[in-house]
Structure 1
Amino acid sequence: MTTFVDRVELHVAAGNGGHGCASVHREKFKPLGGPDGGDGGRGGDVVLVVDRDVTTLLEYHHSPHRRATNGRPGAGGNRTGADGADLVLPVPDGTVVMDRRGTVLADLVGQGTTFVAGQGGRGGLGNAALASARRKAPGFALLGEPGESRDLVLELKSVADVGLIGYPSAGKSSLISVLSAARPKIADYPFTTLVPNLGVVSAGSTVYTVADVPGLIPGASQGKGLGLTFLRHVERCAVLVHVLDCATLESDRDPLSDLDAIEAELSQYGGLADRPRLVALNKTDIPEGQDLADIVRPELAARGLRVFEVSAVSRKGLKELSYALAEIVAQARAARPEQAPTRIVIRPQAVNDQGFTVRREAVGDGEPLFRVRGEKPERWVRQTDFSNDEAVGYLADRLARLGVEEALVKAGAREGDGVAIGPEDNAVIFDWEPSVSVGAEMLGRRGEDHRLNETRPAVQRRREREAKRHDAAQREYDAFDPFEE
């Protein structure tokens, strides 16, 4: 059974906002009580938060679909709907959040670090909030916005100061078990370690974490063995330790060839050339291992590497190795730039920024299509109930006040041209009929808008011409006598 997962696909959906309520206050002897429809509640967010008690992404491997709760709709009596509850998803320290194209959205490092993976939808306004001096009793309310849906990829990169790298059965797990309180599985067969193990080491006043990376063999950077799966876990390490087996039973291996093979894989993986290296010649408690260590030590020193002869059984050289690692980790921490305090940058909107764009496009039949993109127009369209004439008229008022009609005229739009508001895959398309004037004073009974029923002058003239042609054709037909020579 899988117990460790460090890469998953997560499908999140934030909660939808609740719809606003269209209601009129009703009370005995008060026939004109006025609108009292409440607003809808906000949809819940989906939030990723770092929890150090979580060490794997296994939970999301089994349950990859997560949804926050929706906001409740408003009600009469000016009652606002309840907000949807946020869905908080704990993730391990060092989780990288990406989209499906590989773009990094967040790098979650540090206890309590959060990332809003899905934004909940806004609640719709009730008719009480839409009332004005000219629209005293709106017969409509705004719909709640849908919550944000995302397909994410979560990758875990262990947050460790020291990475132990080397061939399978080189003794990495044994070293981490004696250097720290970690108790990994240890056996005398290859690929005993199937997951990265973390341990905490104290050396003087320095406390640091050590991780062993399993399954590094030639070809690991191309996916052979387990190396490609776990190489990402050394990316955050400040120092790498080559654990070389001086008592291997394989005749075609020796410490120098093992070192060259692992370095070749690290080079092909990339991004680790600047990390300092140490070499731990392991299993020197065995006489043959000590003899081999004496042979290869001068060559390793000639390469500029600090070499330590260690043994997990006799604990030889472990103290010297732990203090050397603590020194390098302390230097790396001191060299890190101090994190600047968070500052809120306010960027005021430009005076001539309309907040939307109008682009002319060509559809298949050659007729023009004008696409309107902008946060406000698209949000207003999503919140409009198109089954309610008054709500559609209210949308037309808002778009006209924003300047959309004027921008369409400047772009060359004519009556009857198609206008799309929104992206290509989710747009509302309608035939444009420019209005001469807009305003709530043109509204009739609640839920109606006379502008949607009245005939435009251009349309009226076209219909009159069609009627005249029809009458002329009818007269010719009536006057035709097939038996007349």
Structure 2
Amino acid sequence: MSKFIDRVVLHVRAGKGGHGCASVHREKFKPLGGPDGGNGGNGGDVILEVDANVHTLLDFHFHPHAKAGSGKPGEGGNRDGKTGGDLLLKVPDGTVVLGKDGEIMADLVGAGNRYVAARGGRGGLGNASLASKARKAPGFALLGEEGEERDLVLELKSVADVGLVGFPSAGKSSLVSVLSAAKPKIADYPFTTLVPNLGVVASGDTTFTIADVPGLIPGASEGRGLGLDFLRHLERCAVLAHVVDCATLEPGRDPVSDVDALEAELAAYKPALAADAGLGDLADRPRVVILNKTDVPDGAELAEMVAAEFTERGWPVFEISAVSRAGLRPLTFALADLVREYREAHPKAAPKRAVIRPIAVDESGFSVIADPEEPGGFIVRGSRPERWVRQTQFDNDEAVGYLADRLARLGVEEELVRLGAEPGAPVTIGDVSFDWEPQISAGIDRVPTGRGTDVRLEQTDRVGAAERKHASRVRRGLVAEDEDES
């Protein structure tokens, strides 16, 4: 037996970017082949897309974890890694994507509408892409970035023009079955309808959808009965129709008190989505009162008695019988007119144009603040420095030197000097903390390094060259082995 699921928690994880490759071309008779490490492939995205053939979130109920493919690492011979495959998840029309704090991330209405739930990480650059005039043969590559990982809440809110509201067993499902080709479950006991039923109604030149929302009771806006689980399915409706049981045998109930009780629940429910879409609260929607079960003599008599009271409120009143189908034709035309008026007053918005806002030339892209937990320490924040740190192989001194040069070019070191940072001060960027060793000459007696180099490596090279020169002179008998040439 199929289940209707309209709210799920989905854990999405985009693919990780592949690492870049550090490789040097080797071929006979070509001793200076140069770097040929390829770039890593980008990780795949997790994408939600509206599909007209999907009507429930059932698949995500049983499979709440979704992960896209990761990018492959680069290889020698300038071969880039393969891009990770995107993961396309089909969702029903009317799905709302909420963040962990309840904020609306996307409202997916209309077949083909897409939302990137998690973006894949970028692949790292290989040493061939890092080569420059100052660094002709980099001995390192950049690491691939991790893909985004998020917890999302998916809520399905029916996309219907007319919402039928009423107490249990008021005849809402029967009305949908005679107005459209829908075949909802119908029985003679309360709460027969446990899921919203949608039907398509054609009236003249107007075609509209009608939703049978499960029966509401007093306290529904606070979660009683089916309550909040199905009140949200009324948020998109342009017209609300009260279906009133005029032949109920329950003591203490009458059409007027039933409508008043449900109006109080509609007024208490505050849909955030409707407000964002400009629809207003449910209490502001056009109303229609449908007095049902007039095929029963007592029901017909009661309908005549209460019709005038609803008319005085300015609501159109229709006396019908879903069993004998009496009064359905004028009801259908009236609903079509209300829907047409709503569509004319709320035309579909044109697709939003992409707005490109370039970053100002003086935009630093980072900030430096004092570390509240570490005396004399600093915290560097910004998308670029944090991304550069994630891309760095800290077990490779040359890669660390390249990171230091990038940060210096960005202006991080100048900002640290301006804020009074001392050599050895603890600095945190992202998840990495290190003791700051300045490489610039702004106020500090240091010689700037070349792009992608490390002063420690240069010092090591100078010492090694001096030792090799002394050993050669010893072998030629020019100096004694223990003689100091300094």
Fold-level similarity (TM above 0.5): yes
Paired residue for 1:273? 283
Deviations 1:341-386 (A, max 9, x none): 53232222223211111111221xx512211111111111111111
Q: Is 1:414 the equivalent of 2:425?
A: no
Distance apart, 1:267 and its partner CA:
1.0
Which amino acid is the alignment partner of residue 176 of structure 1?
A: V
Q: Is 1:433 the equivalent of 2:437?
A: yes
Deviations 1:227-268 (A, max 9, x none): 211000001000000000011121221111111111111111
Distance apart, 1:338 and its partner CA:
4.9
Distance apart, 1:396 and its partner CA:
0.6
Question: Which residues of 2 match residues 338-357 of structure 1 at below 5 A?
Answer: 338-357=348-367
Contact 1:442 1:451 in 2 (8 A): no
Paired residue for 1:358? 368
Q: Which SS does the other structure have where 2:129 is aligned?
A: helix
Structure 1: how far apart are the matches of 2:452 and 2:156? 59
Structure 1: how far apart are the matches of 2:460 and 2:346? 65
Q: Which SS does the other structure have where 2:449 is aligned?
A: coil
Match of 2:344 among 315, 329, 334: 334
What TM-score, normalized by structure 1, do the two folds share?
Answer: 0.89
Paired residue for 1:369? 377
Aligned residues: 446
Paired residue for 2:396? 388
Which amino acid is the alignment partner of residue 83 of structure 2?
A: D
Question: Which residues of 2 match residues 62-461 of structure 1 at below 5 A?
Answer: 62-270=62-270, 271-363=281-373, 367-422=375-430, 427-435=431-439, 436=446, 437-440=448-451, 442=453, 449-450=457-458
Which amino acid is the alignment partner of residue 203 of structure 1?
A: S
Deviations 1:135-182 (A, max 9, x none): 111111100000000011111111100000000110000000010110
Q: Which SS does the other structure have where 1:281 is aligned?
A: strand
Which amino acid is the alignment partner of residue 164 of structure 1?
A: L
Contact 1:40 1:71 in 2 (8 A): yes
Please, which runs of 5 or more residues in structure 1 have no aligned partner? 456-485
The 3 A distance-change label for structure 1 pair 229 and 88 is same
Q: Which SS does the other structure have where 2:242 is aligned?
A: strand
Paired residue for 2:471? none
Structure 1: how far apart are the matches of 2:167 and 2:459? 78
Structure 2: how far apart are the matches of 1:340 and 1:210? 25
Structure 2: how far apart are the matches of 1:201 and 1:12? 38
Distance apart, 1:439 and its partner CA:
1.0
The 3 A distance-change label for structure 1 pair 62 and 107 is same
Contact 1:214 1:227 in 2 (8 A): no
Deviates more, 1:60-69 or 1:331-340: 331-340
Structure 1: how far apart are the matches of 2:193 and 2:97? 26
Which amino acid is the alignment partner of residue 296 of structure 1?
A: V
Q: Which SS does the other structure have where 1:69 is aligned?
A: coil
Structure 1: how far apart are the matches of 2:219 and 2:459? 71
The 3 A distance-change label for structure 1 pair 103 and 454 is farther
Please, which runs of 5 or more residues in structure 2 have no aligned partner? 271-280, 440-445, 464-486
Q: Which SS does the other structure have where 2:305 is aligned?
A: helix
Structure 1: how far apart are the matches of 2:265 and 2:460? 70
Paired residue for 2:4? 4
Which amino acid is the alignment partner of residue 398 of structure 1?
A: R
Which amino acid is the alignment partner of residue 449 of structure 2?
A: V
Paired residue for 2:19? 19
The 3 A distance-change label for structure 1 pair 85 and 332 is same
Structure 1: how far apart are the matches of 2:266 and 2:404? 61
Structure 2: how far apart are the matches of 1:337 and 1:184? 31
Q: Which SS does the other structure have where 1:273 is aligned?
A: helix
The 3 A distance-change label for structure 1 pair 451 and 91 is farther
Which amino acid is the alignment partner of residue 74 of structure 1?
A: G
The 3 A distance-change label for structure 1 pair 200 and 277 is same
Contact 2:39 2:124 in 1 (8 A): yes
Distance apart, 1:454 and its partner CA:
10
Distance apart, 1:31 and its partner CA:
2.0
Q: Which SS does the other structure have where 1:434 is aligned?
A: coil
Distance apart, 1:434 and its partner CA:
0.7
The RMSD of aligned alpha carbons is 1.7
Structure 1: how far apart are the matches of 2:219 and 2:66? 37
Contact 1:11 1:65 in 2 (8 A): yes
Structure 2: how far apart are the matches of 1:126 and 1:384? 12
Deviates more, 1:290-299 or 1:193-202: 290-299
Paired residue for 2:276? none
Contact 2:385 2:407 in 1 (8 A): yes
The 3 A distance-change label for structure 1 pair 451 and 292 is farther
What TM-score, normalized by structure 2, do the two folds share?
Answer: 0.89
Which amino acid is the alignment partner of residue 41 of structure 2?
A: G
Contact 2:399 2:452 in 1 (8 A): no
Structure 1: how far apart are the matches of 2:306 and 2:154? 42
Contact 1:94 1:156 in 2 (8 A): yes
